[in-house]
Structures are given as C-alpha cells and as structure tokens.
C-alpha cells in the first residue's frame, strides 16, 4: 500500500472588523471546513511541501527534476504520497517500485538521485557558529513578572516549545494572555490562539491587559482557531496545518498558543487499550510543531491538564519531580517532546508559584507571581 497522504484542508479567513480609536478591535477567526473534520484520516505529518523547492533543481521542477520522471509519473507518485524529493529520498526502492509498477533498478535510480539532491542541501556547522546564529534569531516574549521571566532565561523563547502544566485556576491561560499582548503590543508581531475548549479565549481580557500596560495592539494580528472547529485531536492537528499554510505564505507569526493542548487527547483516548494510539497521535502533533518552531522561529506555548498519581504513595515522588502532586496527561512522550516545562500552582489567595522542573539548559528553580487586572506582576508575600 502507498504511504498515507498528508491531511488537506481548505480554510476560510474571516475578519471580524471593528475599530477602537483607529485600532482594529477584533481578531481574525480561522475556520476549517467541516468536511475536513469528518475525514478522521491518519494525521501523519510529512515533510512540508516547500521542502521540495529547497532541494529541487534551479528550474524548481520538483519530482520532475529526477531523470525518468515526467509530469504523469510525478502525478502518480504524488497520489501515492510521494510529493517531495525528500519523500522519495527517504522511501524504500522496493516499495516505490511495487507501488508504481516499475522495476527495482528504475525505482532505485529515483531514490539515489533524490538522496543526492537532498544531501547536497544538508550541512553541518560548528558549535560556535550554530550558537551565534541561534542567539541572533531567538526572541523572548515577556510575561509581565520579572521573576518568571528570569526563571525562563529571559521569557518564553522562540524556536522552542514551553509547557504550562497545572490544575484548573493556576494561571495557565492568564500567562498565555500576557504573552499574546506582549507579542502584539511590544514586538508588533502576529500570534495564533488555538482554543480547544469553549470559552477559554476572551478578547476583552486581552484588551484590558493591553490598556493597563499602555500598549497599542492591532487585534487583526491575532488569529483564532475556535473550539467549534476542534472536536477531536485529529481536528486539532488540522489547525497546525492552517498555521503552516499561513507561515509558508509569508505571514510573520511569532507565537502559537494551544490552550489546552492535551484536553482532546484526554477525552478521545481514555481507555487503556487506546494508549498506544494516543502516543502515536501525540508524536504526529509534535513532529509538525517541532518543524514549524525550528523552520519559522516561532514560539509554541502548550497548556497541559494534569492528573493525580494513581497511588497515594506516589504523591511525594511527583512533588519532587514536577513541583506538584499532579503531572501532565500524556506520559513520557509529551514530557520528552516539550523543551521547557513549568508547573503552576496557587499557594495563597493572591499568590501563584511557577516551578521550572525540566529544561535542556535552565536550572530547576521557582518563582512567585500575582495575577492582577494588569496581568502578571512579581509576587510579594
């Protein structure tokens, strides 16, 4: 059988316009066609199509740059899921030959040529140059709390994913609101809010934070993927594809918030026998997220619901590891896939605590903050 084709969707971008002092006051709603949500196909995330142009010949002919492949053969390959040179280069010659009904030597020649084209574009650079390039590009989104920003090494980093885990009412969504306002108001760049649960996004709250901070935001630069078009985890994946299309079209999107990231997984894969399927679905989500954050220098913030330890005696171990008795739903794959983890908890009526419990480069530490009408501020005991 051919490898599964990537999910396709057609999105409508509807601007809800209004003005407030000359500034657009409504975000743009990003919609996904309902027929795409009903397909329930595997969400295998292939290498995005624009890779084809990167590794094709100067004429940009893609698959047709391979000797022996003309327009009709290229179309047949695309129908089977081999839409880019990279998909040919990473395919097996015997499978491609069987699917295309051509001899093994012919298929092997296609694979070999594609590998040569792809490898010609792949490079290694020394550590100093890589570090310099990354630091020149990386951007930090501020949370409003200096203590929390310092905990994060300067703020929420681009080219990276940050997980916010915690029970209800621990400040996950409020931190998201804060960094969205910072992205639009201070950086003057665009953001996307993927709302997987109804009524978690409130534009009035963002306007309040911006007004009290003295920031002017163009709310048309904020795109919303509404909860009404995200009934399942597979539909949630389609929202990333919508974001991918906008990025490939040249949109200067810096921040993508998924609130909540694991809610649909929790509901859709609840039985024990479904855990392997859930793990595979998580992996497909992260495969695309990781590509988009690295390729387009975007920051991904994923809020994650938590679960209590199955046994009472495991609570202390969770406290030592996660800074809380509750830990993110999703298992080791989710924990491994997010770059920086913050556990949130409320320790007093008006005081919250953030514990950085995992990062590849930041030390474990805690910070305290308050949530006010103005957003986050440093906590005072």
Question: Residue 351 carries which DSSP code?
Answer: E
- In this prediction, residue 25 carries a pLDDT of 52
Whether residue 239 contacts residue 227, with contact meaning beta carbons closer than 8 Å, is answered with: no
pLDDT exceeds 70 at position 61:
no
pLDDT at site 270: 75
The helix-helix angle for 104-119 and 93-100 (nearest 10°) equals 130
Encoded tokens for 365: 């530490």
Q: How confident is the model at residue 45 (pLDDT cuts 50, 70, 90)?
A: very low
Helix 275-296 to helix 233-248 angle (10° resolution) is 10
Residue 33: pLDDT band (50, 70, 90) is low
For 64, other C-beta atoms within 10 Å of its C-beta total 17
Within 8 A by CB and 6+ apart from 291, the residues are 45, 47, 48
Mean pLDDT across the stretch 40-59?
Answer: 42
Instruction: Tell me what the pLDDT averaged over the chain comes to.
Output: 85
- Percentage of the chain surpassing pLDDT 70? 81
The pair of three-digit structure tokens given for residue 51, joined into one six-digit string: 């890779």
- Gap between the Cα atoms of 131 and 135, Å rounded: 6
199-214: per-residue pLDDT in tens? 999 999 999 999 999 9
Whether 244 shows a pLDDT value over 90: the answer reads yes
Contacts of residue 243, Cβ cutoff 8 Å, sequence gap at least 6: 192, 194, 225, 253, 256, 292
For the ranges 33-37, 83-87, 234-238, 323-327, the one whose mean pLDDT is highest: 234-238
The tens digit of pLDDT for each residue in 141-154 reads 999 999 999 999 99
When mean pLDDT is compared across 129-138, 271-280, 357-366, the lowest value belongs to 271-280
Enumerate domains of the chain plus CATH numbers.
11-44+132-378 (3.40.50.300), 50-119 (1.10.150.20)
CB 269 within 8 A of CB 284: no
Mean pLDDT over residues 228-237, rounded? Answer: 95
pLDDT at 269: 84
Range 341-345 average pLDDT = 96
Of 166, 57, 58, 175, the residue nearest 117 (C-alpha): 57
Query: What pLDDT score does 69 carry?
Result: 93
Model confidence at 275, pLDDT cuts 50, 70, 90, reads confident
Res. 1: pLDDT tops 60: no
The upper half-sphere exposure of residue 293, i.e. CA atoms within 13 Å in the direction of its Cβ, equals: 25
Confidence of residue 273 (pLDDT cuts 50, 70, 90): confident
């Amino acid at each position: 059988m051919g490898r599964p084709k990537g999910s396709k969707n057609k999105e409508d971008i509807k601007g809800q316009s209004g003005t407030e002092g000359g500034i657009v006051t409504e975000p743009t709603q990003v919609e996904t066609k309902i027929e795409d949500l009903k397909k329930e196909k595997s969400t295998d995330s292939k290498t995005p199509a624009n890779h084809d142009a990167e590794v094709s010949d100067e004429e940009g002919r893609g698959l047709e740059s391979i000797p022996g492949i003309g327009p009709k053969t290229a179309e047949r390959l695309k129908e089977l899921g081999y839409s880019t040179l990279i998909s040919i280069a990473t395919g097996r010659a015997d499978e491609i030959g069987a699917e295309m009904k051509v001899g093994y030597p012919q298929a092997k020649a296609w694979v070999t040529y594609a590998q040569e084209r792809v490898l010609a574009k792949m490079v290694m650079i020394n550590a100093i140059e890589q570090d310099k390039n990354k630091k020149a590009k990386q951007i930090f989104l501020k949370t409003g709390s200096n203590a929390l920003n310092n905990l994060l090494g300067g703020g929420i980093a681009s080219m990276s994913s940050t997980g916010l885990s915690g029970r209800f009412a621990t400040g996950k969504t409020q931190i998201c609101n804060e960094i969205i306002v910072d992205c639009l108001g201070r950086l003057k760049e665009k953001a996307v809010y993927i709302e997987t649960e109804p009524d978690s996004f409130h534009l009035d709250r963002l306007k309040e934070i911006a007004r009290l901070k003295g920031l002017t935001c163009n709310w048309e630069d904020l795109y919303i993927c509404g909860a009404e078009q995200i009934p399942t985890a597979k539909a949630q994946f389609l929202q990333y594809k919508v974001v991918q299309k906008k990025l490939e079209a040249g949109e200067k999107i810096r921040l993508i918030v998924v609130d909540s990231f694991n809610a649909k997984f929790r509901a859709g894969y609840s039985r024990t026998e479904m855990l392997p399927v859930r793990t595979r679905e998580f992996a497909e989500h992260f495969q695309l997220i990781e590509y988009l954050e690295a390729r387009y220098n975007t920051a991904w913030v994923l809020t994650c619901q938590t679960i209590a330890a199955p046994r009472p005696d495991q609570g202390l171990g969770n406290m030592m590891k996660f800074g809380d008795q509750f830990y993110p739903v999703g298992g080791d794959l989710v924990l491994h896939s997010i770059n920086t983890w913050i556990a949130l908890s409320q320790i007093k009526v008006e005081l919250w605590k953030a514990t950085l419990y995992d990062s590849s480069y930041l030390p474990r530490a805690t910070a305290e903050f308050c949530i006010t009408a103005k957003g986050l501020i440093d906590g005072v005991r």
